[in-house]
Amino acid sequence: MKQIALGIDIGGTNTAFGLIDEDGTLLFETSLPTKSYEIPENLVDAIYALLKDRPDFNQLIGIGIGAPNGNVFTGNIEFAPNLIWKGVVPIVQLFQDTFKVPAVLANDANAAAIGEHLFGSAKDLKDFVTITLGTGLGSGIFINGELLVGHNGFAGEYGHIRVIQNGRTCGCGRNGCLETYASSTGVVRSIAEFESPNKYKSALLRKDHVNAQEVFNEAEAGDVFASEIVEYTAAVLGSALADFAAFSDPKAYILFGGIAQAGVPFAERVQFHLEANALKIFQQKIEVRVSALHDKNAAVLGTAASLFWHLHKNSVN
């Protein structure tokens, strides 16, 4: 019988969770409204109640949890502004007490990298970097088959490497960070901040609220300014990834997230700009791949994958 992990992605609005077997097959998935549970114990109980009578429940070997302000070292959620639970929540302990199996708290960028390695586009790779293009830009680094964690647990913050001098202001208080350009937020900022003679003919300027997906849709429909934004985003990202190759010398970058998965062309343009900017020793050696995981359940897969990864590491070491 196959081993099963429970992957849980706690968000401010919803908590998605699912059961994954060791091949990455999603056996069950649903979500609950986080805010409806006044104390975290109630959410834990509600998830337990939904799963405990399944015939495969005895195959459950552990739980991977993703949460805002989760401290992977302590297993606690710490002062999360987007949750109604205040202060320090010992979330790993709560799940372990109820489910009687090991639980781990997973960093979302690292969970994405582990998910790609176990179940996605990086199954065949030992040296790769995942780039998650969401509200910000997250990255997870594998080196020689091992996840890079770093001295303080903060390795792989590629979104906050500055790539444009005196560039866009970033939430971190500095300027020109990669994620102010290469992220869904960055794409939307480009509508106001990218200059082009084609700008004022664009459909994008006639809309009230535009999200990054619409920019990509308009580009595909032939809007010249929208296409320029897509190309600019690919150029900034590709040029940055060319330079970042000088860190870990990866075999591939795996792009994940709505805009990266909008279609193959974006990844192709990133690859083009990576090649155009790469040091000679890195030219034609680095692939840009699109994630094989789907946006909808990637967080659940990633957190479950983190649990498998954690147990496997502890059994071999």
Tokens of 215: 């920019």
* Contacts of 27 by beta carbon, 8 Å cutoff, 6+ apart: 4, 18, 19, 20, 21, 56
> Looking at 2, 285, 296, 312, which residue binds its own copies (CB under 8 A)?
285
CB of 247 to its own copies, least distance (A): 4
Q: Three-state DSSP class for 150? A: coil
Which residues are bridge partners to 66 per DSSP? Answer: 9
Q: Three-state DSSP class for 158? A: helix
> Looking at 100, 151, 206, 209, which residue binds its own copies (CB under 8 A)?
151
Q: Could you tell me the sign of the dihedral formed by the alpha carbons of 117, 118, 123, 126, in that order?
A: positive
Q: Does 168 bind its own copies (CB under 8 A)?
A: no
Q: Which is nearer to its own copies, 158 or 216 (CB)?
A: 158
> Looking at 17, 232, 244, 308, which residue binds its own copies (CB under 8 A)?
244
CB of 159 to its own copies, least distance (A): 8
Tokens of 246: 């000088």
Q: Does 272 bind its own copies (CB under 8 A)?
A: no
Q: Which is nearer to its own copies, 173 or 222 (CB)?
A: 173
Quick one: which segment of 5-13, 15-23, 196-204, 275-283 binds its own copies (CB under 8 A)?
275-283
Letters for 174-213 (x = contact with its own copies by CB under 8 A, - = none) are: x---------------------------------------
> Looking at 143, 203, 224, 292, which residue binds its own copies (CB under 8 A)?
143
Q: Does 243 bind its own copies (CB under 8 A)?
A: yes
230: closest CA among 271, 276, 191, 275?
191
20: closest CA among 31, 32, 29?
29
d(CA 285, CA 241) in angstroms, rounded, equals 13
d(CA 49, CA 112) in angstroms, rounded, equals 28
- Strands 14-21 and 88-89: what pairing? unpaired
Q: Does 74 bind its own copies (CB under 8 A)?
A: no
CB of 197 to its own copies, least distance (A): 22
Q: Does 241 bind its own copies (CB under 8 A)?
A: no
> Looking at 165, 284, 315, 317, which residue binds its own copies (CB under 8 A)?
165
Q: Three-state DSSP class for 103? A: strand
Q: Does 88 bind its own copies (CB under 8 A)?
A: no
Alpha helices in the chain (DSSP H): 40-51, 91-99, 108-119, 184-193, 212-220, 224-248, 264-277, 298-316
CB of 136 to its own copies, least distance (A): 12
Q: Which is nearer to its own copies, 83 or 109 (CB)?
A: 109
Q: Does 281 bind its own copies (CB under 8 A)?
A: yes
Q: Is 2 left (phi over 0), alpha (psi -120 to 50) or beta?
A: beta
CB of 130 to its own copies, least distance (A): 14
Q: Which is nearer to its own copies, 7 or 136 (CB)?
A: 136
What does the binding site for its own copies look like in residue numbers (CB under 8 A)? 126-127, 141, 143-144, 148-158, 160-162, 164-165, 172-174, 243-244, 246-251, 277, 279-282, 285
